Amino acid sequence: EAQVTQNPRYLITVTGKKLTVTCSQNMNHEYMSWYRQDPGLGLRQIYYSMNVEVTDKGDVPEGYKVSRKEKRNFPLILESPSPNQTSLYFCASSLKGPGGLGPIGEQYFGPGTRLTVT
Amino acid sequence: QKEVEQNSGPLSVPEGAIASLNCTYSDRGSQSFFWYRQYSGKSPELIMSIYSNGDKEDGRFTAQLNKASQYVSLLIRDSQPSDSATYLCAVNGNTGNQFYFGTGTSLTVIP
């Protein structure tokens, strides 16, 4: 089954304790992205990756790191989480970047990770 | 100015009616436009994409794009209670590599 998976689905942690949220896709997609969703603010892009070893900042990258060592995986790293990073996080992937016309730019989302930082 | 703007709603329509959802975007260089549906507590699900001016129909859904007015809309015909969800408009940025989402419009279809 074609899918994007994220782990963990729920996480409660304390300020300053490093954590990693994993994201994996099995569709051989080149483009992967992380979003956070907050009430009233909608989905905001944190980082995206056009392909292996190619990553770039989205709108809200502060406090986050990413890496893309393999095509299928795109982990999100919070080196020193703070309470303002409490949010619902989504990973997404598409065959190509969103600028590509047609289905190659259509993104598919993982199930989400609800993170609480106390 | 936000990249993508939507009325947050809530929008309520009776079952069987047409629901009309609207979205405006600020970047004239945007080329790809998407509508996602998100049920409460779930991840966004792609329902329509549109790339050229005019209408695109898929079943009960019709997406409309007007690049001159920087306006995208989604019509849902014969609305069903199962259509009750938040609808997100998404647009690619001028560089083509970033995605911008609106804050979503909450739709309730009343049986």
Residue A42 near chain B (CB below 8 Å): yes
Tens-digit pLDDT profile for residues B26-62: 988 888 899 999 999 899 999 999 999 999 999 999 9
Q: Over chain A, what is the mean pLDDT?
A: 93
Range with the largest mean pLDDT of B6-15, B18-27, B93-102: B18-27
CA-based end-to-end distance of chain B: 37
The CA-CA-CA angle for residues B31, B34, B37, to 5°, reads 170
State the Cα torsion A111-B93-B56-B11 to the nearest 10°.
60
A98: pLDDT strictly greater than 90: no
Give backbone dihedrals phi and psi of B96, rounded to 5 degrees, phi first: 90, -15
The full DSSP string for B81-110 is GGG-EEEEEEEE-TTSS-EEE---EEEEEE
CB A60 within 8 A of CB A44: yes
pLDDT of residue A6: 97
Residue A104 near chain B (CB below 8 Å): no
List of chain A residues whose C-beta atoms are within 8 Å of the C-beta of residue B99: 33, 45, 48, 98, 107
Distance from CA of A88 to the nearest CA of B (A): 9
Tens-digit pLDDT profile for residues A56-82: 999 999 999 999 999 999 999 999 999
d(CA A88, CA A78): 14
List of chain B residues whose C-beta atoms are within 8 Å of the C-beta of residue A59: 98, 100
A18: pLDDT strictly greater than 80: yes
CA B73, distance to chain mean position in Å, is 6
Distance from CA of A101 to the nearest CA of B (A): 6
List of chain B residues whose C-beta atoms are within 8 Å of the C-beta of residue A97: 92, 96-97
Binned at pLDDT 50, 70 and 90, residue B1 comes out as low
Chain A 1-30, residues with CB within 8 Å of chain B CB atoms: none
Nearest by CB: B31 against A43, A50, A101 = A101
Instruction: Compute the Cα dihedral for B43, A41, B65, B109 and give only its sign.
Output: positive
b vs e for A20-40, b when ≥16 Cβ sit within 10 Å of the residue's Cβ? ebebbbeeebbbbbbbbbeee
